[in-house]
Structures are given as structure tokens and as C-alpha cells.
Structure 1
Amino acid sequence: MAPKNKENTNLNKKKNTSCDEDGDSEDYRRRRDRNNQAVKRSRVKSKLKTQQTLERVNQLKTENELLEEKIKMLTKELGFLKDLFLAHAGSNQHTTPNLQDLDLNALLADDSKSNDQKIMKF
């Protein structure tokens, strides 16, 4: 155990003597200052990148919600057009389809509610 203690003591002496000299302590201080500045720049850059990522996530979430609403609206429109087509195909070629069988008011009410919700989100 004695040799290890001597080595530790020698290392401590070397550290103390190198910092005691004027030239070395100034050089050390300059290096520490540069390192501290680099750390500050790195932390600022990291915070900025995190903030930009969060903004992008929120933007994509909003865009996703709008696209989901558009899908719902187009799905309803497709269902309406299918019903209209089937009503027309099932009827005589020269007569108009019976639109009373289709619940237009309910479809239009659903569409207006979707539009109102979109407006409220903005």
C-alpha cells in the first residue's frame, strides 16, 4: 500500500506545481474559459433544437387533425354519392331518382357541424 500512496502524493504535487506557475495558470484559465463558453453555446444550441422539434411536432399534430377531418368529410361524401348512384341505377333510366329516400338533411347537418368544428379549432 505504501507505493500507491507515494504515487498519489506525487501526482498531487505535480498538479499543484503546474498551477502555481504564472504562465501555466493563465493558460489553464484561458482553456477553462474557452471550454465554459463552448459548453454554454452547446446548451443553447441543444435547447433551440429541442424547441424547434416540439414546434414541428405540434404543427404536424394540427395538420394530422385537419387531414383526419377531411377524410371523415370525404367518406361521408362518398357514401352520399354511392347512395345517389344506387338510387339512380335502381330507378328507370328516364325518371329522376327519389332523393326523398336519401337523408340529405342529416348529411348536410353533419357536414355543417364538421365545418363549425374546423373553424373553432383555428
Structure 2
Amino acid sequence: MNATADGRCVSTAPLDLETIRRTAQEVIADGARIEQPDEIATIITLLRGVLELLIPEVETLTGRHPREHVPAICARACLGESRMRLRLGNGDTPAVRLSTAQRLARSALALADHYERLGEPS
């Protein structure tokens, strides 16, 4: 971990995009059912952590591209959506909890894609 100029801690370890994608895809798979409240709470917490890792990484990558760079524009929109999803509550019913987990998982997948696309040389 390293501290940024504004005092936030950022990871210097590479992101495990394969694990992030596999976890997210399991949550959004057709017919995914997670019945146990403890299990879904753990998954939601895990996915929130994934977004908290991906958001600053993707944000840094968007800053390396011109404002009119279309992939960076798309990534910025995804960043806003991901931040909004971080503010979602966990939900009071199993169906709402699963929906919350699936929304977080979709954001994680999208951010992982942007991370790869923006990290490639232009």
C-alpha cells in the first residue's frame, strides 16, 4: 500500500481480474440463488471491496487519456454508476439482497473491462 497526496491508501499489487470476473459471473449467472443471509452479506461486502479497489485504478487510467478519448468517456460513466451502486443498501429481503449483489457484480465486470482496455497502449 502507498499513500496518495490526499492521504488515501492505494494498492500497488496487481488486480486479480480473473478472480474478480469469476466471482461476479457466479453472482449474475442465470438462476443464481443465494439463500443464506450471511452468505449474501459476505458476497455484497466482497463486491463492495472489489469496486473500492477498481474505482481508483480505472480513474487513474482515464486520466492518462485525452478528455475526448471515447473509451475513457465510457469508463468515466461506468465510474459514476459504480459509485452510485456503492451507496445502495444491502436490502431487507433475499430477492433485494441478490439484486444488490448482482448490480455490484455487473459494475465489477464493467470496471474490469475498462481497466484492461484503458491499460493497453493506444
Name the TM-score, length of structure 2 as normaliser: 0.26
Flag the structure with larger Rg: 1
